[in-house]
Structure 1
Amino acid sequence: MSAEKFDPKSVLDSLPLLPGVYRYYDSKGDVLYVGKAKQLKKRVSSYFQKTNISPRIRLMVSHIARIETTVTRSEAEALLLENNLIKSLRPRYNILFRDDKSYPYIVLTGHEFPRLTYYRGAPNRQHQYFGPYPNAYAAKESMQLLQKVFRIRTCEDSVFSNRTRPCLLHQIGRCTAPCVKLVSEEDYRADIRNAVLLLQGKQQEVEQAMRAAMEQAAEQQHYEQAAVLRDQLRALYTVQQKQFVESTGSATDADIIALAQQDGLTCVNLAMVRGGRHLGDKSFFPEHAEDMEADEIVQAFIAQHYLNRSVPPLIVLAAEFHDEALAQLLSEQAGRTVRISTASSGERKQWLEMGQRNALLALQQRLMQQGGQKLRLERLRELLDMPELQRIECFDISHTMGEATVASCVVYENLDMRSSQYRRYNITGITPGDDYAAMRQALTRRYQKLAEGEGARPDLVLIDGGLGQLHIAMEVMQELGLTDLALIGVAKGEERKAGLEQLISPDGTAQQLRSDEPALHLIQQVRDEAHRFAITGHRAKRGKARTASSLEEISGVGDKRRRSLLTHFGGLREVAQASVEQLCQVEGISKALAEKIYQQLH
């Protein structure tokens, strides 16, 4: 059914004045847009009655061939459903933010001697969590600084429970070695309390407590303890000089959302303040936001970013926020009031100005990168005579002498690598080392669904390999009825040097581009990413296979002894890290067998 034939009247007449979610589809069945409404009838009707809608929305309406709606019990429930559908369906006309994996936290575990560690995922009530941090670098740097000051253990429980002498971290002054009782439980607890206070932004309290303890130790002539506290105070002072921007006010937890727009590109900058300390920021570049207003973009970001994720008690914006239903839903989700306010003056205004500067800087860097990518893509289009070239997929095979064969497929689209669309294929049922069979299996699995009408269609498929691999790709496409897909083989040059690659066409002709040719740089970028993705998967698969089989291959280690080893140490990796003396402590493991196990695993 064509878009012109669609008559919305019958649908609009049947819609209720109730909250819900609506979805627009085109004639191919692809979702165009997902939205929520307090009253479905009024909201959906407005798309077909407005005369002052933007060209983008007018174009979307012209493609609508079907409308689906879902009635919900409340506007809040509609918000949640809308957010889930946007993330799963990724509609063409919605503002889309990358759905990042969970943010990192710093964790102090609930053990007798708590452990300092890095964590992603849902918090567990048994432990203390600090964060979230905007990125792994910020979290791990804070951990290193805490180690310098308070020397808290970071080792796994299985290692901690089986040590007989201090580890290297103790020797370099990064751990007090509670594993071998070189620090009392009371002193270790004091370090933990001070670390918690520092993570909460209470630096002055930490300094006062440590200075008082140092003076008391000196008065009691416990000079060694006083010297340790003195060194900790010095380290704390150094940390404060290196630490992120500090708040001059109270120990606030807040997120600051700033926005910059330039040349059709939008950047949303999220800065995180925890315990009054500015931990860092992260930039997001939404899709489909070209002609959207700033308040629409920020509202979409808040919904997509915070629903079903940790929310701080304060969110600071540049402009007023009017979606009361979303604000109320965030408060219900957090179990406390979440304030969304503007930064009119003072420290919040400074935070926001810093966020806006960072957003503009990130935007300018992205524009420069895209300028280079545009040049590369334009040159490749000219070279291949493919003016509509947008989406490139590339395949590579990785194995070690036929072991643990893995194929990769990476995607380049809209001037960037699209990691969320990457795929790996574990290759089975072939002769080890047969790259042709591996390539055949990967291509067949990748494009079988495309032949059935599902999935995104690439404009160009790159095959990492020579004419043989390219012929395999041609055969697979012939079998699947996809002979119109453009194929190019990328053969490594002499001595496998970068810049000497040859591009092989299906007719067998080979072309070598100049090493400074932008089109070649784009091909190298995509090919190298396919290689990296394949070899990373291969190494993980190989390592898992080798570790899993290593104990079974040792004569004298049957099921019972293998279970005893795994139970005692907590896992295969810990068994491999154990010394001969530690292996001997396991029931049923003699010294001779322990030495045999150690030699086999090393």
Structure 2
Amino acid sequence: MTSERGVHSDQLLSEVAALPQLPGVYRYFDADGGVLYVGKARNLKKRVSSYFQKNHGGTRIGHMISRIARMETTVVRSEAEALLLENNLIKALNPRFNILFRDDKSYPYLKIHGAPDKAGFDEAGTGAQTAAVFPRVAYYRGAVDRKHRYFGPYPSAWAVKESIQLLQKVFRLRTCEDTVFANRTRPCLLYQIKRCSGPCVQLVTPEAYREDVRNAEAFLRGDTQAVLAQLEQRMLAHAEKLQFEQAAELRNQMAALSKVLHQQSVDTGSDKDVDILAVKVQGGKACVNLAMVRGGRHLGDRPYFPSHVEDATVVQDFDDAQDEVQAQPVEVQVLEAFIAQHYIGVPVPPALITSVPVARELVEALTVQSGIRVSAVHNPREQRRLWLEMAEKNAAIQLARLLAEEGSQQARTRALADALDLEPDDLDGFCVECFDISHTAGEATQASCVVFHHHKMQNAEYRRFNIDGITPGDDYAAMRQVLTRRYARLAETGRDSPDASPPAEGLEQPVAPEVEAAPDQGGADQTGEAKPKKTYRGGATRLPDLVLVDGGRGQVSMAREVFAELGLDLSVIVGVEKGEGRRVGLEELVFADGREKVYLGKDSAALMLVAQIRDEAHRFAITGMRARRAKVRVGGSKLEDIPGIGAKKRARLLQRFGGIRGVASAGVDDIAAVEGIGRDLAEEIYRALH
């Protein structure tokens, strides 16, 4: 049995003693199964044993070690394998005492559709030139495949769109959708302003367009001089044949390309694909600024902010001490963590330029993982030095901005707690949940619940509730339903265990199956399943410190009735009542426990925070309501949900009957007459729509 306060079980200590002296990865778990730390070691036995050989007191490393209840290890063949496995596990397990970078690597790409070497006519032999013959250039985000060509990744959508504009100016590639291409009868505006060569109306031959596509790809790869030389040869050839109009077009193309290269004002030399990484640490926070050079062009940069910096670096220093090597500076630890975690599943360029030196083993691991030779330089010269100085300056600016914003956010949270005479044990864990109701004349009613804690909106914890079984437009009944569904289980848990604080599962698990975790920019789950319990700093779980409802006395009275029935604290309920003329800044706060309503003042930091949370609840409710209303009105998803109905059959049905309502009004015989729809399937469709 595991005792508390740093005394570990005999079983755990025996497992430590039996570890092999081989490279590997180890994971520490607490008594609740939470992951504390993931580490790698050249010698598992030596490294892991060092944690349990002395008393670490009340230090941060001692705090972590005292919580270790269980351990898992994995033996690997080399230190490089250990490093790769360690960072895969860090990304998957989110351990509390590791430097952790959020997994937001959804980079955009520039996509050129299709293959440029297809024949100039359609397969049916009709002589018509199809869209596939003239590849289009487009913005793309998602998984890549071999059917198309992808260039990137780019640090931002803006960088992709700028590159597309350059390709339009220089090579005049089309950007229109295939359906638009197929239905054009005359050139569009882009042709008129010389941003497209007009392939949709056969104003350019397939051969000439393929040449433009090849040159565009070479330009994106950084082969700009080869492109210019080829354009010059083609221009001279046309001039010799007295084809002066074609020669003039190529001359203009060369001039546009030269202008683009001049505007870039970057002498890349041999550098075509390079990542520049600069790190800045200050005030317990860190920023890694990633700048990208692709095809010899500087595409911009993107900042990353890790979590757990202070706790994780203490553990890392302890690891270094046990390996009898000099403890690494915090900047090195942060940058190495970023490199190891960031390039999991992301293409690695052959050259990395870093503001601090990184371990040779890390670079070798990247080489093994990517299959290409990767080099890292931390003291560059000439153009590389300019790139790095720019990245370092941007990292400092972004970190200063973060620190200023966090200070402001903490001040707003403190102002709200003071304004409401609240004294939270932990200001970071001060939690607010806000509810709003949205519908259109009673149609597609939805309620939203947004969550605020740790001084920011936690959009991964947002919830939407479909409201049914009420009189359309009855906002009070809708509020009663959502509050009951949100907090009933919490109240039941509290009654079952009166001496214990109610667990947060009651906050996170919907009571009724109708509760939806609706899609949002924060990535809320769409399955409707319960999410992991909410854990605040120190492991405490409790009812929110504040429950905001968007409305005045009526909504607050309804919330008070629900909380009274559930036996919950009425003092946490506050209504946000709109002021005169519904103007922002004139809102008043209405309390459920009988206190007089309060006007905080339009310049109040507390009111600014309340308005932010209220507006976010309103936005989240409206987007969900509109999506649900569109689904009900269009009904296309009903066809998608029928087994045996794919995209082609669905399109035939909608085309034959003019929309989902036409399909719904059709009889079984009419539906069965559609190509590809048998009698059995027609009956299934009829049942599904009725």
Please indicate the TM-score interval, normalised by the length of the shorter structure.
Answer: 0.7 to 0.9
Q: Matched residues in 2 for 1:54 and 1:42: separation? A: 23
SS at match of 1:4: coil
Q: Matched residues in 2 for 1:359 and 1:560: separation? A: 50
**Is the contact between residue 12 and residue 69 of structure 2 (CA under 8 Å) also seen in structure 1?**
no
Q: Matched residues in 2 for 1:468 and 1:513: separation? A: 21
**Is the contact between residue 6 and residue 66 of structure 1 (CA under 8 Å) also seen in structure 2?**
no
Pick which of 275-284 and 1-10 moved more. Answer: 1-10
SS at match of 2:598: strand
Query: How far is 1:195 from its partner?
Result: 1.2
Q: Please say if 1:405 is aligned against 2:445.
A: yes
Q: Please say if 1:193 is aligned against 2:217.
A: no
SS at match of 1:258: strand
Aligned residue identity for 2:353: V
Q: Which one of 550, 572, 579 corresponds to residue 493 of structure 1?
A: 579
Aligned residue identity for 1:289: V
Q: Matched residues in 1 for 2:84 and 2:482: separation? A: 37
Q: Matched residues in 2 for 1:560 and 1:109: separation? A: 22
Q: Which residue does 1:228 correspond to in 2?
A: 249
Structure 1 runs of 4+ off > 6 angstroms? 50-54, 559-562, 565-568
Q: Which one of 295, 306, 312 corresponds to residue 343 of structure 2?
A: 306
Q: Which residue does 1:68 correspond to in 2?
A: 71
**Is the contact between residue 278 and residue 392 of structure 2 (CA under 8 Å) also seen in structure 1?**
yes
Q: Which residue does 2:166 correspond to in 1?
A: 145
Q: Matched residues in 1 for 2:188 and 2:637: separation? A: 26
Within 5 Å, give how 1:466-545 maps onto structure 2. Answer: 466-474=552-560, 483=569, 486-508=572-594, 509-545=596-632
Query: How far is 1:265 from its partner?
Result: 1.9
Q: Matched residues in 2 for 1:22 and 1:475: separation? A: 52
Q: Which residue does 1:455 correspond to in 2?
A: 534
Query: How far is 1:50 from its partner?
Result: 6.2
Pick which of 500-509 and 207-216 moved more. Answer: 207-216
Query: How far is 1:312 from its partner?
Result: 1.8
**Is the contact between residue 402 and residue 433 of structure 1 (CA under 8 Å) also seen in structure 2?**
yes
Q: Matched residues in 2 for 1:83 and 1:91: separation? A: 11
Query: How far is 1:429 from its partner?
Result: 5.2
Query: How far is 1:8 from its partner?
Result: 5.3
Q: Which residue does 2:278 correspond to in 1?
A: 258
Q: Please say if 1:240 is aligned against 2:319.
A: no
Q: 1:219 to 1:32 in 2, by over 3 A?
A: same
Q: Please say if 1:366 is aligned against 2:402.
A: yes
Aligned residue identity for 1:330: L
Query: How far is 1:515 from its partner?
Result: 0.4
Q: Which one of 270, 277, 292 corresponds to residue 272 of structure 1?
A: 292
Query: How far is 1:241 from its partner?
Result: 4.7
Q: Which residue does 2:205 correspond to in 1?
A: 184
Q: Which one of 422, 432, 450 corresponds to residue 386 of structure 1?
A: 422
Within 5 Å, give how 1:80-119 maps onto structure 2. Answer: 81-110=85-114, 111-119=132-140
Q: Which residue does 2:48 correspond to in 1?
A: 44
Give per-residue Cα distances to partners, 1:1-32, cap 9 Å, x unaligned.
Answer: 77416325541331322554433344555433
**Is the contact between residue 20 and residue 72 of structure 1 (CA under 8 Å) also seen in structure 2?**
yes
Query: How far is 1:71 from its partner?
Result: 2.5
Q: 1:323 to 1:436 in 2, by over 3 A?
A: farther
Q: Please say if 1:315 is aligned against 2:352.
A: yes
Q: Please say if 1:207 is aligned against 2:228.
A: yes
**Is the contact between residue 274 and residue 352 of structure 2 (CA under 8 Å) also seen in structure 1?**
yes
Under a length normalisation based on structure 1, what TM-score does the superposition of the two structures give? Answer: 0.83
Aligned residue identity for 2:591: S
Query: How far is 1:106 from its partner?
Result: 0.3
Give per-residue Cα distances to partners, 1:374-410, cap 9 Å, x unaligned.
Answer: 3222211211233433333333333322333343333
Segments of structure 1 that go 5 or more residues without pairing to the other structure are 553-558, 573-585, 588-602
Q: 1:209 to 1:376 in 2, by over 3 A?
A: same
Pick which of 525-534 and 476-485 moved more. Answer: 476-485
**Is the contact between residue 3 and residue 26 of structure 1 (CA under 8 Å) also seen in structure 2?**
no
Q: Matched residues in 1 for 2:232 and 2:634: separation? A: 50
**Is the contact between residue 394 and residue 410 of structure 1 (CA under 8 Å) also seen in structure 2?**
yes
**Is the contact between residue 3 and residue 27 of structure 1 (CA under 8 Å) also seen in structure 2?**
no
Under a length normalisation based on structure 2, what TM-score does the superposition of the two structures give? Answer: 0.73
Query: How far is 1:176 from its partner?
Result: 2.0
Aligned residue identity for 2:134: F
Q: Number of aligned pairs?
A: 563
Aligned residue identity for 2:72: T
Q: 1:297 to 1:440 in 2, by over 3 A?
A: farther
Larger radius of gyration: 2
Q: Which residue does 1:563 correspond to in 2?
A: 651
Q: Matched residues in 1 for 2:190 and 2:207: separation? A: 21
Q: Matched residues in 2 for 1:68 and 1:485: separation? A: 44
Segments of structure 2 that go 5 or more residues without pairing to the other structure are 115-131, 314-329, 490-503, 510-531, 536-540, 640-646, 661-673, 676-690
Q: Please say if 1:14 is aligned against 2:20.
A: no
SS at match of 1:512: coil
Query: How far is 1:38 from its partner?
Result: 4.1
Q: Matched residues in 2 for 1:88 and 1:406: separation? A: 33
Aligned residue identity for 1:296: Q
Pick which of 32-41 and 350-359 moved more. Answer: 32-41
**Is the contact between residue 271 and residue 296 of structure 2 (CA under 8 Å) also seen in structure 1?**
yes
Aligned residue identity for 1:22: Y
Give per-residue Cα distances to partners, 1:319-374, cap 9 Å, x unaligned.
Answer: 332262x4444333322223334234333333222211110011112222223223
SS at match of 1:360: helix
Aligned residue identity for 2:366: L
SS at match of 2:617: helix
Q: Matched residues in 2 for 1:560 and 1:264: separation? A: 56
Give per-residue Cα distances to partners, 1:60-90, cap 9 Å, x unaligned.
Answer: 223x051231424445665455434433443
**Is the contact between residue 571 and residue 593 of structure 2 (CA under 8 Å) also seen in structure 1?**
no
Q: Matched residues in 1 for 2:587 and 2:432: separation? A: 18
SS at match of 2:309: coil
Aligned residue identity for 1:369: E
Query: How far is 1:439 from its partner?
Result: 3.9
Aligned residue identity for 1:274: R
Query: How far is 1:107 from its partner?
Result: 0.8
**Is the contact between residue 151 and residue 174 of structure 1 (CA under 8 Å) also seen in structure 2?**
yes
Query: How far is 1:477 from its partner?
Result: 5.1
Q: Which residue does 2:681 correspond to in 1?
A: none
**Is the contact between residue 272 and residue 281 of structure 1 (CA under 8 Å) also seen in structure 2?**
yes
Q: 1:308 to 1:161 in 2, by over 3 A?
A: same
Query: How far is 1:132 from its partner?
Result: 0.3
- Identity within the alignment, %: 54
